[in-house]
Amino acid sequence: MAGSLNWGVKQSFRGYVESAGGVIETMGGAERAADGGFTFAAAPGGDLRLDADGRPVGRGLFVGNVRFEAHGGMLSVYLADPNIEIGPSGAVITVADSSARTHRMEIATLDLGAITTGLAGELVIPTALSMDGSRLLGDHYPPKTALDPVRLTLR
């Protein structure tokens, strides 16, 4: 099962929000990591695992939310409870996009062909922005823009 998910969304977006005098707030199972990214706690019920070839498959469920706010609230981006969903038709990160959690969207795709292993043995998976993710970040980055890699610990 999934131990934890570390994902910083996009380093330049975090830098931009903070240098614009905004805030980045984590709650409910999400924490700010030492590298400035976010760590999300695993939730029960997922089945993310390595298959016989050592590749991740299934769904990893995580909890926690991150709020980015700047420009007096004109910039307001919220994402919560990321899932890693790896199936036959692709590998994506989905999130709830409001605190009501009534709607989930695909924010990013995972490039399973480019997985590496991190220093602590975690899987490091490159990610890229999806169409809906582009909209969530205010249409400033086109779809397929590289985001921060996901760092996934399985246990």
Which of residues 77 and 91 has its CB atom nearest to ligand HEM in the complex?
A: 77
- Would you say 100 and 80 are in contact if contact means Cβ atoms under 8 Å apart? no
Q: Does 77 bind ligand HEM (CB under 6 A)?
A: yes
90 binds ligand HEM (CB under 6 A): no
Interface with ligand HEM by CB under 6 A: which range of 12-20, 47-55, 82-90, 109-117? Answer: 12-20
Does residue 71 belong to the site contacting ligand HEM (CB under 6 A)?
yes
* DSSP secondary structure code for residue 133 in this structure: H
**CA triple 108-110-111, angle to 5 deg:** 140
Give 137 or 152: the residue with its C-beta nearer to ligand HEM. 137
Q: Would you say how long the chain is, in residues?
A: 155
Please report whether residue 108 would count as binding ligand HEM according to CB under 6 A. no
- Give 77 or 92: the residue with its C-beta nearer to ligand HEM: 77
H or E stretch at 11: helix 11-19
Give the residue, chosen from 75, 115, 124, 128, that forms a contact with ligand HEM under the rule CB under 6 A. Answer: 75
Q: What are residue 46's phi and psi, to 5 degrees? A: -80, 170
Instruction: Determine the residue with CB nearest ligand HEM.
Output: 138
Give the helix/strand (H/E) hosting 40: strand 38-42
Q: Extract the tokens encoding 116.
A: 């590496």
- The secondary structure element, H or E, covering residue 1 is none
Decide whether 90 or 138 has the Cβ nearer to ligand HEM: 138
The contact set with ligand HEM (CB under 6 A) reads: 12-13, 16, 71, 74-75, 77, 137-138, 140
